[in-house]
Amino acid sequence: MLYSCVSCDAAVVPPKRARTREEKLQRNIATHPLLPPCRDCLRRCWEKVAEEQRKLIWQSFWKLEKHGRDIFVYSSIEVSEPAGFKPDAVHNRAYVIAYKLTDAMGRQHRVCRTFFLATLGYKATASYVNELVRKTPIGSPVPVPDGCGRFGPPSSIDRDGIIAHIRSFNPFLPHYRRSHAPKRLYLPPELSIRFMVNDYNDRNPRATVSYNTYRREVNKLNISFARLSKEECELCKTLSLSHSKILGTRNCIEDCEACARQREHDELKMEARKVYQEDGEHFSEDLIVRSVDMQKVIMLPLMPGVKSTNFTKRVLVFHETFAPVGKYKAATPTLSYLWHEGIAGRGAEDISSAFIHALREDRDKSHIVYFTDNCSSQNKNWILFSQLASLINSDEVSAETITLKFLEAGHTFMSADSIHADVEKRMKAMKDICDFNDFQNCVQHHNIRAIALKCTDFYRLQSRKSIAKLKRARVQISEMRVVQFRRREHSLFYKIRHSDEEFTTVDFLLTKCKLPMELKTSHDGDRGIPPAKKRRILKNLVPLMPTTRAQFWHDIATNENVKDLLSETEDETDEMR
């Protein structure tokens, strides 16, 4: 088929796809040519509007954009209630449409539906006018524009602008990197993609984007709104997606490697959970059993009703919890150690310092058992192991054994998680948490001691492991599920499985290492935060909080040489694992 031009009869070879305005015009003309008028109409429409005038109307109509054509049609019709309308009738016509066209003298004439549509290039059976009337609200002077072309083609979307807008919400790293979520970033759970899309479109009214387009960019940046405590075990999730289950058993080929890994994983999970429950139920006066974990990322100030908090980099707060397990809950308080990034960081030496303070609180116990997860930057590293070997051989504690028991990855729910859930509930009830004292009051509760650490409470700790000794022993820290330190022993005792009856001994300390080691304060003063972060908080958020909370933000220390922990990759922790 050849297209014909509006101004002449020259034939034009059509392109494969209409892209420009002229190409779209040619396409519309080819698909909607001027049709013959009615010939047996009682209104004798062909006598009212001449053929030359019909051609001019047709040409002018198809030069308009889509919304312009809708406005022309809507202004050329009258919609009214049908005669003899009965409100209670079932089969009433909803409306009656009267069609009008203008002659060469500018006078309007009523014409029939067939003549009107044929003049515009539509067949008499076309539903164009009825659809236009149906979607236009009653009483509206103009029809509602459709959504076609509202967001533009994908190639015209400013993806760099979307990414910059997403990053303006300051996605952060979790306190630790899990094996199944490397480089994963998180946003506060009170945010949502819908809120972010609406904010972007409000700021860019001429370049709005759809929800799906924005969501795809969020996914590309590997950003999640999920709470870390609710993440699923990767191994269990992978197997459930790749294997069907029939009557509780997996329908799989024999000797399936995935099923074998899953069975071993299930056994280790059940062994760890059984030991956790048994230790909690076996109460003894000279024994203490606790679970240890750090609460998910918390940022201050926390002001959910203030939009500016979403675009302002705030201060990270750390909450390391040592919660009693089972029957020990009634007689033993929970120890909650609190600090913020202006005081110290979240590296292995900072977490190990919190362990030292907790062990000092339990100094009168003969045996100390801590259940933890497998986070290598917090609970399973040679810095912590070196300090535990030193502490148990000192006079600061009277313990004969200190034992760390690691729960299976992906199944680490502990009593500490229950404490964190209660803290989050109190945070929601409190709403605005403007400074560090507000957060400390939120954590402090019945049978929970909220202990704020100062810079002098953190120590300069180092790993004292001997790489040569560990290579000869052929032991990997990742394989250990139980680790024990004993008084008058410089070696480490470990188990590969919780069900193993005997410990394996490994001499891991440097030969020149003398126990106990001297503890030196790691900071001459507060760590401090970047000056730019403090300036933004003072400018954007402090004016919106009570004046009694402003002093904390004026006094917080700054340091131009410290890293912003919101974007720190923590790659430096790999060497200590």
Integer Cα distance of 170 and 564 in angstroms: 11
pLDDT of residue 232: 61
Q: Tell the burial category of 162 from Cβ atoms under 10 Å away from its Cβ (0-12, 13-18, 19+).
A: buried
* Stated pTM of the model: 0.66
Element (H, E) at 259: helix 257-281
The predicted structure's pLDDT at residue 409 = 81
* Largest Cα–Cα separation, the chain: 116
Strongest mean pLDDT among 51-60, 73-82, 172-181? 51-60
pLDDT of 76 higher than 70: yes
pLDDT level of residue 450 (50, 70, 90 thresholds) = very high
- What per-residue confidence (pLDDT) applies to 311? 85
Inter-CA distances, 363 with 154, 275, 367, 394, 509, Å: 64, 23, 9, 11, 24
In the numeric block, which tokens belong to residue 197? 């899309």
- Helix intervals (H) in 366-505: 382-391, 415-430, 436-443, 467-473
Q: Which of 562, 554, 551, 550 is nearest to 526 (CA)?
A: 562
Residue 128 has pLDDT above 80, yes or no: yes
* Interval 94-126: pLDDT, tens: 788 899 999 988 899 999 999 999 999 999 888
The predicted pLDDT at position 577 comes to 39
Mean pLDDT of the chain: 84
- Res 572: pLDDT: 40
